[in-house]
Structure 1
Amino acid sequence: MTAEEVRSLDRAHVLHSWSAQDLIDPLPIAGAEGSYFWDYSGKRYLDFSSQLVNVNIGYQHPKVVAAIQEQAARLTTIQPSFANDARSQAARLIAEVAPNGLDTVFFTNGGAEAIENAVRMARLHTGRGKVLAAYRSYHGATAGAITLTGDPRRWASEPSAPGVVHFWGPYLYRSAFHAEDEEQERDRALQHLRDTLMVEGPHTVAAILLETVVGTNGILVPPDGYLQGVREICDEHGILLIADEVMAGFGRCGEWFAVDRWGVTPDLITFAKGVNSGYVPLGGVVLSDAVRASFATTPYPGGLTYSGHPLACASAVASIQAFHEEGIVGHARRLGEEVIGPGLAKLATRHASVGEVRGLGVFWAIELVRDRATREPLVPFNAGGEAAAPMVAVAAACKERGLWPMTNMNRVHVVPPCTTRRDEAEEGLAILDQALEVADRFVVG
């Protein structure tokens, strides 16, 4: 097919997510490999978005492609009530890289379903109804997951499911607690969480759900001690801690799971995206032994037709094995420490529009401002239309030069595949350097 045939059929028959259908013109993509994809004209884009922050192993990794082909030739599908080698192997490999004591995996088709099932498990295990989740969060677009989401994407789905209470997490650059340093931010955020529990009644709360490192809402790395503090609060009140690692896991933060950086063991971990880089849809929940015991003689009342699908699990097995064999987690950590982090710090000194850079591994954000002194965002919160024009212009400048960025509100997220080479990362940073000149034109302070 030609690009125009693809575009024409898309416009005629496809409803795109999160979009006003008549105001978009999706770019037809012809192929991809490694850290690049290209359109039908042959223009290549260095992918600094990893699509939706999920192509952790890069495009068309030969070992993962081969595993899918081999599994398709042998057994394309089987229902979840049977055991199969791909699912068993995938579960074992995931449990092996999870924190100690989390040895059981419930497979889903993606991250939102993982969140839905983790919350269900927490409620059944504790016999309680409420779940606390952060305002700066995104947990998925299904009915329960969008209720748990804190950002504006939940608004159109309200009124929503009962039992969810939102709270403020740490974010020193725009502190809700008027903190002056990381230690104050940590302590005041933990006290705020305690206060929220006090007025909600901790005995009514089944779980506290949080993204270990907040993703789409700003790549917010928690201050040291915060996650440990949340773990202590949960233990004090018999509340389960659910770590949403859908975006932060499988190498993205330079660790197998981001919680490893702080030595925190959740009761439940949700995953998707990087477990197999989206080659075939897959997600899941890793359960602690205690939660798993709740369903030892009592049935777990949930399931999915494609839970642990053989093609998806085969791709996860191959991906995790490649991560081990090729040292991809360590490479992602070093890429952040030695290339991306220092490179973004240099951009911050060169561009008045850069308010802050932050991140880990291959999970970074550049926060753009009109005024560094006041920290006024380059575009207003949840801006659309003309108000969002400065960020649209920055993204366009990147794409014109062959870099595909991820932008959200007033931020450019730097989230390339974990396999990105040093020279590719440097190439992308050089393009960002040029694109930020567009943002600088809007600086007033």
Structure 2
Amino acid sequence: MTTRDEMAIAADTAGRDPAGGIDPVAARSAARRHDRAHVLHPWTAHAAFDPVVVAGAQGAHFWSEDGRRWLDFSSQLVNVNVGHQHPRLIAAIRAQAETLCTVAPYHANAATSEAARLIAEVAPGDLDKVFFTNGGAEAIENAIRMARLHTGRHKVLSTYRSYHGATAAAIAATGDPRRWPSEPHAAPGFVHFWGPYPYRSAFHSDSEGQECERALAHLADTIAFEGPHTIAAVLLETVVGANGILAPPDGYLRGVRRLCDDHGIAMIADEVMTGFGRCGEWFAIDRWRVAPDLIAFAKGVNSGYVPLGGVIVSERIAEGFAARPYPGGLTYSGHPLACAAAVACIGIYREEGILERVRHLGEAVIGPALREIQARHRSVGDVRGLGMFWAIELVRDRASREPLVPFNAAGAANLPMAELAAECKRRGLWPFTFSNRLHVVPPLTIGEQDLREGLAIIDEALAVADRHAGG
């Protein structure tokens, strides 16, 4: 017969009380303890890590087991584009699960083929084939492989201010300090260059036009000195994401396209974070009317409800795999549950007018509010962005533009940003912070009232950063 102690242990493990109901205290205790005992979280030193135990979410909010509630201004990892628990997405996943949960990628199925058709339909230029992956890093890996196979070359150029993922080639292509612990790389052939960044120009430019011209000249020189005949691809985040939300100056992407065409180099657009409405377009590159050879996507394709990513491939590159097999694959490529979610998500973007709404809110609400915030706070050096993709760059001094925290700050050096993030959370907003920046990246479906409330919380919380700023 089961003893009372054994029943209590079982209840603690399962998160249920001995009578069969849910015991929230036990569930909370068990989830936290088992997480600390068994889960290795990404990019985390575990000794002092104390994760929030998330109990649920709805729309633009999520909440913890202990009753705390936050307005999600991070979209988790800039992926929950249509908000939490969208009923149409949930219904699509449920219906697909009742029909076909999984199938090997060498078969065809309705969900995967329809997702591919819809993605190709909204892609620019002649990008008409889709290779599905489980996420963004794998999409980058395969885009690089395709470019190398297509050109017969090995080098890949990418910018210093970039993040492309944590797998072998993706982390080698990454320019920011997350690359360093993975060096020396098992994946060779990666070269970094400086992209445009008018606020902190590497080219001493005094206008966006000059920044564009000089950045393109720098890339042309890099190509020349690396040897055009050795370069397979130029890989760019269309709008740089975690490293600053840096929209390229008008003319820059067209100039990159021209350089690639002149030298037979494939152009890869990393749209993992910016694709599917985040910038008010299906793909951010549409804003500049440029068609790359390959687009890597993930995140917003189905708002992260089921892991999914992929590469959209131009006709001329896809032709190379008509008579010879593409030498790559994944067990879960084109997973039916993930693709059914993508079909539903694209339907939501269209039927709820998400792209138009994002453009309107970016221009009429977020941009004006952030410019007013900049005028009120001495710690705000720059605000920039488009759609629902904005950054507040924080400084100690506006004249010198000294960052609020040093490059790659950690520990005590990062205290001002840690304090700012904590203050946002205390006031009920979950922020996305990176380096000396606070990013404004809420779900694309957020209500205007919630959006204004979140911006007001940021306005109030910036008093914390102002204490560290001198002018």
Normalised by the size of structure 1, how large is the TM-score? 0.99
Counterpart amino acid of residue 184 in structure 1 = Q
The answer for the alignment partner of 1:297 in structure 2 is 323
Tell me the distance in 2 between the aligned counterparts of 1:358 and 1:3.
40
Task: Show CA shifts across 1:384-417 (max 9, x none).
Answer: 0000000000000100010000000100000001
The answer for the alignment partner of 1:347 in structure 2 is 373
Deviation at 1:41, TM superposition (A): 2.3
Tell me the distance in 2 between the aligned counterparts of 1:331 and 1:80.
36
Once the two structures are superposed, the pairs formed by residues 115-134 of structure 1 within 5 Å of their partners are 115-134=140-159
Tell me the distance in 2 between the aligned counterparts of 1:265 and 1:398.
39
The answer for the alignment partner of 2:19 in structure 1 is none
- 8 Å contact from structure 2 (residues 132, 334) kept in 1: yes
Tell me the distance in 2 between the aligned counterparts of 1:255 and 1:282.
20
Deviation at 1:4, TM superposition (A): 2.2
The answer for the alignment partner of 1:12 in structure 2 is 37
Counterpart amino acid of residue 211 in structure 1 = E
The answer for the alignment partner of 1:242 in structure 2 is 268
Tell me the distance in 1 between the aligned counterparts of 2:195 and 2:361.
27
The answer for the alignment partner of 2:9 in structure 1 is none
Task: Show CA shifts across 1:11-60 (max 9, x none).
Answer: 01000110111121000000001000011122210000000000001001
Which residue of 444, 447, 454 corresponds with 1:421? 447
Task: Show CA shifts across 1:366-400 (max 9, x none).
Answer: 00000000000000001000000000000001000
Which residue of 235, 238, 249 corresponds with 1:212? 238
Which residue of 257, 263, 284 corresponds with 1:258? 284
Which residue of 217, 222, 232 corresponds with 2:248? 222
Once the two structures are superposed, the pairs formed by residues 139-150 of structure 1 within 5 Å of their partners are 139-150=164-175
Tell me the distance in 1 between the aligned counterparts of 2:419 and 2:46.
21
The answer for the alignment partner of 1:337 in structure 2 is 363
- In structure 2, runs of 5+ residues without a counterpart are 1-14, 16-26
Tell me the distance in 1 between the aligned counterparts of 2:356 and 2:58.
21
The answer for the alignment partner of 2:161 in structure 1 is 136
Given the alignment of the two structures, is residue 24 of structure 1 paired with residue 45 of structure 2, yes or no? no
Given the alignment of the two structures, is residue 159 of structure 1 paired with residue 184 of structure 2, yes or no? yes
Given the alignment of the two structures, is residue 430 of structure 1 paired with residue 460 of structure 2, yes or no? no
The answer for the alignment partner of 1:55 in structure 2 is 80
Task: Show CA shifts across 1:121-173 (max 9, x none).
Answer: 00000111111000000000001100000000000000012110000000011
Which residue of 409, 415, 428 corresponds with 1:389? 415
Q: From the CA coordinates, give the structure whose radius of gyration is larger.
A: 2
Which secondary structure state, in structure 2, belongs to the residue aligned with residue 21 of structure 1?
Answer: coil
Counterpart amino acid of residue 314 in structure 1 = A
Given the alignment of the two structures, is residue 90 of structure 1 paired with residue 105 of structure 2, yes or no? no
Tell me the distance in 2 between the aligned counterparts of 1:253 and 1:80.
31
- 8 Å contact from structure 2 (residues 378, 470) kept in 1: no
Given the alignment of the two structures, is residue 272 of structure 1 paired with residue 298 of structure 2, yes or no? yes
Tell me the distance in 1 between the aligned counterparts of 2:109 and 2:362.
38
The answer for the alignment partner of 1:71 in structure 2 is 96
Which secondary structure state, in structure 2, belongs to the residue aligned with residue 335 of structure 1?
Answer: helix
Deviation at 1:335, TM superposition (A): 1.1
The answer for the alignment partner of 2:339 in structure 1 is 313
- 8 Å contact from structure 2 (residues 136, 296) kept in 1: yes
Normalised by the size of structure 2, how large is the TM-score? 0.94
Which secondary structure state, in structure 1, belongs to the residue aligned with residue 422 of structure 2?
Answer: helix
Task: Show CA shifts across 1:67-88 (max 9, x none).
Answer: 0000001100000000000000
Tell me the distance in 2 between the aligned counterparts of 1:294 and 1:277.
31
Tell me the distance in 2 between the aligned counterparts of 1:315 and 1:402.
30
Counterpart amino acid of residue 15 in structure 1 = L
Counterpart amino acid of residue 382 in structure 2 = E
Aligned pair count reads: 445
Counterpart amino acid of residue 266 in structure 1 = P
The answer for the alignment partner of 1:101 in structure 2 is 126
Which residue of 80, 95, 105 corresponds with 2:105? 80
The answer for the alignment partner of 2:207 in structure 1 is 181
Which secondary structure state, in structure 1, belongs to the residue aligned with residue 321 of structure 2?
Answer: coil
Which secondary structure state, in structure 2, belongs to the residue aligned with residue 213 of structure 1?
Answer: coil
Tell me the distance in 2 between the aligned counterparts of 1:330 and 1:104.
26
Tell me the percent identity. Answer: 68
Tell me the distance in 2 between the aligned counterparts of 1:334 and 1:254.
9
Counterpart amino acid of residue 148 in structure 1 = A
- 8 Å contact from structure 2 (residues 395, 403) kept in 1: yes
Tell me the distance in 2 between the aligned counterparts of 1:309 and 1:242.
24
Deviation at 1:421, TM superposition (A): 1.3
Tell me the distance in 1 between the aligned counterparts of 2:250 and 2:450.
31
Which residue of 51, 65, 69 corresponds with 1:40? 65
Which secondary structure state, in structure 2, belongs to the residue aligned with residue 22 of structure 1?
Answer: coil
Give the CA RMSD over aligned residues.
Answer: 0.6
Tell me the distance in 2 between the aligned counterparts of 1:102 and 1:248.
17
Tell me the distance in 2 between the aligned counterparts of 1:421 and 1:186.
36
Flag as ranges the 4+ runs of structure 1 deviating above 6 A: none
Task: Show CA shifts across 1:194-228 (max 9, x none).
Answer: 00001000111010000000000000010000000
- 8 Å contact from structure 2 (residues 158, 173) kept in 1: yes
The answer for the alignment partner of 1:360 in structure 2 is 386
